Amino acid sequence: MTTLTIAEAVAAISLAHVLHLTMDVQNVRSKVKRLADVIAHVPVKPFPININTRTKAYSAGLLGLAILFGISFLVIRWLNPSIASLLVLSTVLLVVGELINLVGLDNYHVRIARITRQFETHK
């Protein structure tokens, strides 16, 4: 395995991670909205896919990440950037991933606090 191939793989997994993280954040947002709707007695549709066990959740997550990695790796190979460009891209993607995570978790905490506040008992 060459240094270029390793750098391409690192960039591809970094890109796949950012895409996967973005989808995870969106999934959490939709679940919080669904919870708020159920509490407010707003009709909700059943989930289109029945992922109701940890095994199914982990399998779906790993499969999604593998597919994103494969596509990212092929695109990066096709673009044929330099090793330096791949290292810069990987670093930028890691920072972007952290920002997505930070904002996504903050958004989750704000939304879930609105929901849980309804059930707090005041002393």
**pLDDT surpassing 70 at residue 47:** yes
Residues 13, 15, 18, 20, CA torsion sign: negative
Distance CA(27)–CA(23), nearest Å, equals: 6
Round the average pLDDT of the chain to a whole number and report it: 92
What's the confidence (pLDDT) of residue 86? 96
Give the tens place of pLDDT for each residue, 80-101: 999 999 999 999 999 999 999 9
What's the confidence (pLDDT) of residue 117? 87
What's the confidence (pLDDT) of residue 122? 66
In this prediction the pTM is 0.84
Nearest to 74 by CA among 2, 30, 15: 15
**pLDDT surpassing 80 at residue 23:** yes
What's the confidence (pLDDT) of residue 123? 57
Over residues 4-13, mean pLDDT: 95
Listed in sequence order, the residues at least 6 apart from 90 whose beta carbon sits closer than 8 Å to its beta carbon are 7, 10, 11, 14
User: For residues 99 and 23, is the Cβ–Cβ distance under 8 A?
Assistant: no
